[in-house]
Structure 1
């Protein structure tokens, strides 16, 4: 059952981030949303998280494009990539969502502006938990199978000695 849940949540999140990243990168499909993203990143750039540490902040366009490209790449990896790479993409997207929540908090935005970052951050975290549980379950089954195999081999060896 967790495999189905993991598949569905991974596919949903991956497609979502491909779409959201595309809004940031190009105006080709949704020009109004792209224009809103351009305006939003003009605001977001003012509270760049690493500005206090580095004294540097990127141009709003470069910031928006970088975030959008990262979202698209990670979304594609979630949809079609292999297991370990999916975990890395999930972790990168989770960090982006934490950054988005921080940014909206720093801008004193209302909860409705923070909600997408919170919700998708929770979904990404949930995906990591489901994946970890599935991995642990596979390890337990593997260990159980190995122990049964050893018991069977021991029985076979004992029978041989008795013959």
Structure 2
């Protein structure tokens, strides 16, 4: 089992869990403090969102959009269907999350985690499934 496979499964499971916490009552029941904190945080994120002047959504709707995106893309990573596309979408989501934390002047730890996830997802886009190995002569 190669690095790409391990990374794909790990990221897939992480994003499925993260998406579920954001969108389901199950997530709220299991980790109520995290769910409540996320809903509050998404209100702050909405203030610096690049689309805020174009689309009117609530912080909970924003959290659900991100949650469904993470859940679906994570499932695609786990099933290896359209894994490169899913990884690309998650790269954009996590890079946006890192940028949002930067704009809010959050501590480096809150910026670094989504930035590292974005890099890991980008690795899957560039080096993951579908890349042909070069033959040596």
TM-score, structure 1 normalization: 0.75
Structure 1: which 4+ aligned runs deviate by more than 4 Å? none
2:69 alignment partner in structure 1: 70
> Structure 1 residue 13 and structure 2 residue 11: aligned?
yes
Q: Quote the offset at 1:101 in angstroms.
A: 1.1
Structure 2: runs of 5+ lacking an equivalent: none
Q: Quote the offset at 1:28 in angstroms.
A: 2.8
Output the CA distance in 2 between the equivalents of 1:29 and 1:77.
24
2:40 alignment partner in structure 1: 39
- Alignment match of 1:136 (pick from 124, 132, 137): 132
Measured on the aligned residues, the alpha-carbon RMSD in Å equals 1.8
- Alignment match of 1:96 (pick from 88, 93, 101): 93
Higher relative contact order (CA 8 A, sep 6+): 2
Structure 1: runs of 5+ lacking an equivalent: 145-163
Kindly report which structure 2 residues correspond to 1:52-63, keeping only aligned pairs within 5 A, or say none.
52=53, 54=54, 56-63=55-62
| Aligned pairs, number | 133
CA contact 1:41–1:60 (8 Å) conserved in 2: yes
Output the CA distance in 2 between the equivalents of 1:92 and 1:10.
14
Q: Quote the offset at 1:21 in angstroms.
A: 1.1
Bigger Rg, structure 1 or 2:
1
**SS of residue paired to 1:39:** helix
Output the CA distance in 2 between the equivalents of 1:97 and 1:41.
14
Output the CA distance in 2 between the equivalents of 1:76 and 1:29.
20
Output the CA distance in 2 between the equivalents of 1:35 and 1:74.
23
